[in-house]
């Protein structure tokens, strides 16, 4: 069974005078352990989809009837508030864009782990500390850091801490919305390599959202390309790279500066 199955998803932003169709009849699946990339420009609807999966979308965003979002076979759109609370984080965890700023600046790292581990699993302080140390080691951070405050850690470290907190409840699906956009290339590479190793060890699936197609092709198994709310092409990473079929995908590639080969000189994709 697919970890995530999205069928005929349509999301509108309803305004007083007009309705903006942000997501138009999008369908795709993510298999267990799969690293799925969703690429597209700002405003194409990719983040709207990410928020809808954990029902974090808020008015004026409206999911149209007929849309289906199944996580592990369960219809997310049917969950009541109590079900939703236990579903978020435990089933689907989300790393936000500039997640490094989503840590609470006045709490130690340890306290932020305790919050999650105590609320969802009822762990005591001592148990939570042991589990938190274990989780930090997963992302290559020394457990000494548990007593640190966020501002004492670098941006890359904070991002890894957020990822560790996301993995605290062994979610089935990790959604990462532009998780490394604010970081430099070396740190970005280290973090994505770590995620790749972890999903193979722990078996979770990843929905990776970015506008950086080069980065996406390097880490994803399959990729979906979005244009103005529509999913215009879905294929395995190699095909998206070597033999893209949609004209928009081709133009996206044409607008990417490359490390080798003839330097391109074209006008951008849109």
Binding site for other proteins (CB under 8 A): 41-42, 154-155, 183-190, 193, 211-215, 217-218, 237-238, 241-242, 252, 255-260, 263-270
CB of 188 to other proteins, least distance (A): 7
For residue 89, report the phi and psi dihedrals to the nearest 5 degrees.
Answer: 80, -45
- What is the closest distance, in whole angstroms, from the C-beta atom of residue 255 to other proteins in the complex? 5
**Are the CB atoms for 128 and 107 separated by under 8 Å?**
no
* CB 121, min distance to other proteins, A: 34
Nearer to other proteins, 72 or 221 (CB): 221
25 versus 230: smaller Cβ distance to other proteins: 230
For other proteins, which is the closer residue by CB, 115 or 190? Answer: 190
User: To the nearest whole angstrom, how small is the minimum distance from the Cβ of residue 237 to other proteins?
Assistant: 8
Q: Of the candidates 108, 96, 93, which has an alpha carbon nearest to the alpha carbon of residue 165?
A: 93
Q: How far apart are CA 222 and CA 234, in angstroms?
A: 7
CB of 219 to other proteins, least distance (A): 8
Q: Which class for 122: exposed (0-12), middle (13-18), buried (19 or more C-beta within 10 A)?
A: exposed
Which lies closer to other proteins via its Cβ, residue 15 or residue 73?
A: 15
* Segments of the chain assigned E as strands: 4-14, 19-30, 35-39, 61-63, 68-71, 74-75, 92-95, 173-177, 205-210, 222-227, 230-236
Cβ proximity to other proteins: between 115 and 228 the closer is 228
Nearer to other proteins, 83 or 236 (CB): 236
Whole-number minimum distance, CB 226 to other proteins, in Å?
13
Q: How far apart are CA 270 and CA 262, in angstroms?
A: 22
How many whole angstroms separate alpha carbon 212 and alpha carbon 35? 15
């Amino acid at each position: 069974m697919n970890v995530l199955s999205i069928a005929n998803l349509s999301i509108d932003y309803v305004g007083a005078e007009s309705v903006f169709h942000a997501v138009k009849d999008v369908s795709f699946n993510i298999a267990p352990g799969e690293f799925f990339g969703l690429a597209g420009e700002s405003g194409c609807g990719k983040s709207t989809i990410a928020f809808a999966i954990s029902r974090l979308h808020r008015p004026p965003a409206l999911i149209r009837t007929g849309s289906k979002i199944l996580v592990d076979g369960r219809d997310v759109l049917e969950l009541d508030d109590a079900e939703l609370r236990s579903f978020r984080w435990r089933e689907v965890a989300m790393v936000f864009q500039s997640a490094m700023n989503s840590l609470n600046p006045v709490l130690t790292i340890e306290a932020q782990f305790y919050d999650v581990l105590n609320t969802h699993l009822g762990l005591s302080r001592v148990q939570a500390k042991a589990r938190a140390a274990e989780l930090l080691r997963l992302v290559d951070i020394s457990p000494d850091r548990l007593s640190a405050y966020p501002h004492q850690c670098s941006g890359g470290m904070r991002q890894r801490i957020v990822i560790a907190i996301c993995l605290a409840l062994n979610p089935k699906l990790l959604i990462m919305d532009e998780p490394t956009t604010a970081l430099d290339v070396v740190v970005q590479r280290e973090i994505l390599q770590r995620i790749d190793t972890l999903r193979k060890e722990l078996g979770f699936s990843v929905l990776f959202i970015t506008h950086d197609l080069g980065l996406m092709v390097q880490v994803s198994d399959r990729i979906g390309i979005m244009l103005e709310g529509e999913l215009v092409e879905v294929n395995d990473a190699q095909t998206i790279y070597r033999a893209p079929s949609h004209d928009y995908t081709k133009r996206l590639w044409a607008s990417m500066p490359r490390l080798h080969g003839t330097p391109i000189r074209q006008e951008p994709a849109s």
